[in-house]
Amino acid sequence: MGFPKQHEQNTSPNIPDEWFVPKQKNKSDAEAVVRPSLSYWQDAWKRLLKNKLAMGGLFFLIVLIVMAIIGPIISPHDGVKQSLANQNLPPSSTHWFGTDDMGRDMFARTWYGARISLFVGFMAALIDFVIGIIYGGVAGYKGGKTDNVMMRIVEILYGLPYLLVVILLMVVMGPGLLTIIVALTVTGWIGMARIVRGQVLQIKNYEFILASKTFGTKTARIIRKNLLPNTMGPIIVQMTLTVPSAIFAEAFLSFLGLGIQAPFASWGVMASDGLSTILSGYWWRLFFPALFISLTMFSFNVLGDGLQDALDPKLRR
């Protein structure tokens, strides 16, 4: 005995068949990437931002440059006027970094010294940049006998004792800011030239360089438009290392009495003056210039290391 069949109602919605149409393949969709396209410099900046130590160094350098500009202005004292009644005062709310043996405000003099030290560092790096790029670019691109002759000249200059060059320039030109800059750049461009030459030797055999030669492009244009833009990473890193080296060299020479002369203030001059009074208990006279020399060199070095990693094409994802 069977059971009666019940009428089964279709509860599903009435969906027309034309809705079920396969999606057509689109060439632009196939070539789309999930990650947004970044240029070489955008990707380098993004990686640099992740390096906290390098960004801390960059932040300190920016603050240092700003204070070198406005520091003497915001100081309640001009740093030049002498006051024997205020000799060797310790740091206080009146004199934030204390005073020296002439009663001059150390806070204002520190930022005057920053102006000279930073000027020497950046000027030396700029001159090394120009000479090194031209010399190394020509040597690497020409190659052959031209490269051999130019590199022998570099080796001769590299062998010159640095202090001997400085002393000879002091005798000829006299001590001063110009002499320091000339002394730093006589042989300072050699490192930049070697780096540029090595990069150019590697890149000049790439296909796009050979194509430019085939079309008859002039040598100067190939170096300027094709070679140099592809060597800017190592060049920028070298410049960040040249600036602290020049600042330290200026401080060292001024400390020995071969650099900036009184009454001009630089960190080296201030450190030299402060060292003679450290045993008298006037610690602040040596502490502040030495502190800023150390922090500046540390900041440039960590920034240079960060830029080296950020600009390395092998680390680009």
How crowded is the C-beta side of 254, counted as CA atoms within 13 Å?
32
Residues 216-274 have pLDDT tens digits of: 878 778 877 777 777 888 888 888 888 888 888 888 888 777 777 766 788 888 888 88
What is the pLDDT at residue 9? 52
Percent of the chain with pLDDT over 90: 16
pLDDT per residue over 273-298, tens digit each?
888 888 788 899 989 999 999 999 99
CA distance 121 to 247: 5
Cβ atoms of 268 and 257 within 8 Å: the answer is: no
Residues 6 or more apart whose CB falls under 8 angstroms from that of 201 comprise: 140, 143
The amino acid present at 189, given as its one-letter code, is W
Integer Cα distance of 152 and 101 in angstroms: 50
Numbers of helices and strands, H then E, in the chain:
13, 0
End-to-end CA distance of the chain: 75
CB 120 within 8 Å of CB 177 = yes
Q: Does 95 have pLDDT greater than 60?
A: yes
Q: In 3D, which of 120, 121, 130, 119 has the Cα closest to residue 192?
A: 130
Domains of the chain: 43-78+87-315 (1.10.3720.10)
Of 293 and 3, the one with more pLDDT: 293
Compute the half-sphere exposure of residue 64: CA atoms within 13 Å on the CB side of its CA: 25
The tally of CA atoms less than 13 A away on the side-chain side of residue 239 is 19
Q: Which of 66-70, 115-119, 156-160, 288-292 has the lowest mean pLDDT?
A: 156-160
Give 84 or 111, the one with higher predicted confidence.
111
pLDDT in tens, 114-151: 998 899 889 988 998 899 988 988 888 888 898 899 99
On whether the CB atoms of residues 110 and 71 are closer than 8 A, the answer is yes
The two tokens of residue 40 are: 């070489």
